[in-house]
Structure 1
Amino acid sequence: MVYPLTGRAVHIAKAGGPEVLTLGSDAPKSPAADEVLIKVAYAGVNRPDALQRAGLYDPPKGASPIPGLECAGEIVSVGQGVTQWKKGDKVCALLPGGGYADYAVTPAAHCLPVPYPMTLKQAACLPETFFTVWSNVFMRGGLQAGERFLVHGGSSGIGTTAIQLAKAFGARVFATAGTDEKCAACTDLGAEAAFNYRDSDFVEQMRAVGGADLILDMVGGDYIPRNLKALADDGRLVQIAFLQGPKVAVNFVQLMTRRLTMTGSTLRPQSDLAKARIADALHAQVWPLLNAGRIAPVMDQEFALEDVAAAHARMESSAHIGKIVLRVNG
């Protein structure tokens, strides 16, 4: 194809708040071998984007400095060796970066078909959260049917996804959230109970039902020792972020005596092969649920690309329930 000389793109002028995000231009590159070029219709907004904007989460080597880790749109060009996709295919994709732009390049193996009943706006909300939840809750955390699963931040994009997937695969699901409205949203999605952390102690609540077999946490800080207390014997704690900080004093004797497991991961720095394996697992085990309408992303609010600062402010206010998206060419 003939590439446009420039496309719109969001740039980070300097490390700081949402106001440092500026709309400018970027020359889209042609896809290398095993890559595809996507004309972005919608891009998801995620916490790692805000961390990158604040100067706290640098892109991996070789990744675009433009924020944006997921999108949905139309493939406009394929690189050498790409056989599973062709020009004109509608996909949603996990990106190494660059989603806040008219065009984004990503490995072909990190793309997934848009589930049949979904719009591109809905599909743009799938990759980052579904890759994160599947890899941490099921692949790393080993959640099994019948186990008690607790997710913190249950009304977030990660939380709403985790509740639905854990419920769909037969777990007993519990969640924490910061308002009664958010707790109600969690139970509406399938949580057995949701605890308002402002007036309820999730440790006591979980211990009352036998303790959590698995906890997914993105809060960190003083939640870490509390999570360990909330676990059942042989329980697992999976850490994916530290909104309240990564350093805390922990009594490791309880890990030994109660046979607890602490683990965690970040998605963006993982190898292309590791992400491709997650994509394959999602396509085989989760996409049928999406195609059947049994699960779906929870949508909060849509912003135009030029209103990206307002989208980041909305996310950092923690007032949202579910996913925030940018309309790029939708």
Structure 2
Amino acid sequence: MRIALDAMGGDYAPEAIIKGALLAAEQLEKEDEILLIGQEEVVHSLLKEYGYTGQNIKVVNATQVIGMAEHPTKALSQKTDSSIAVGYGMLKAQQADAFCSAGNTGAMLVGAMFSVKTIEGIIRPTIAGFVPKLSGGFGVILDVGANAECKPEVLEQFGETGSIYAKYVLGIENPKVGLMNLGEEESKGTVVTQAAHQRLKNNPNVNFVGNLEGRDLFNDKADVIVCDGYTGNIIIKMAESIYEIMHEKNIKDPFFDNFNYETAGGSPILGINGNAVIGHGVSSPLAVSNMVVLAQKMISSKISERFRKNYSV
């Protein structure tokens, strides 16, 4: 498999990205390749500086970089030789099986929509996050930032796509789906969440367990947590802050270590014709390595093909 990695994206690029690629290369199979996309001379120079002599990291030249604060659509249209544009071009041309970047999140989303495009039948692609469970393992929460406002039918579809991801990537046989709300009762919530509850309840393709409250995030009530991107983003950022606070206070616990963004490495974009993972802007080498490993799992599970099969008419 070939995993394209944006060498220029992120607050600590390219150094942290290339170090992460070196860590990931140690975990991949011999025949797997990491395709580092970026300014060729810079990337080759750093690989040499870090003593890399292996064969499964290749360099793909991209002369331009999209900054973290640039307008996504404008930057992609004007910087056609940027590392993000080149990465998506390779994904579309099937020269890469996955594309990962810790760069401009908006550009990653816009790039997906205009290159590999949304799978037919998917209303809105979604960014998925991961929630550690007290009993072990992880659940998946979606959306965590792509869609700040969602119609009921979109939330329903998040339950479907989240279930497929949980089954084939996380290995949960019959994932339980819950709708994040402000109460357990069906009558609770906004007009949107009330309607979404009824749609999920009557959907034979999901194992719907009802509404969830905030206290249910880390227990076993649900494996798939459905919410709009506004709510999901707040939840994920709050979880990250818990780890940071405990780290500052020198409190160590294996469960709370899973709140560290480095553990998951990134957030997959679900519902597009290909495998794409968005990393945290401050990604460290460990986070980058785990982002690549996450992409490897997505490729192995054939998750994008499973989405297409599920929504094909």
Shorter-chain TM band: 0.3 to 0.5
Quick check: which one's helix share is greater?
Answer: 2
Q: Which has the higher contact order (CA 8 A, sep 6+)?
A: 2
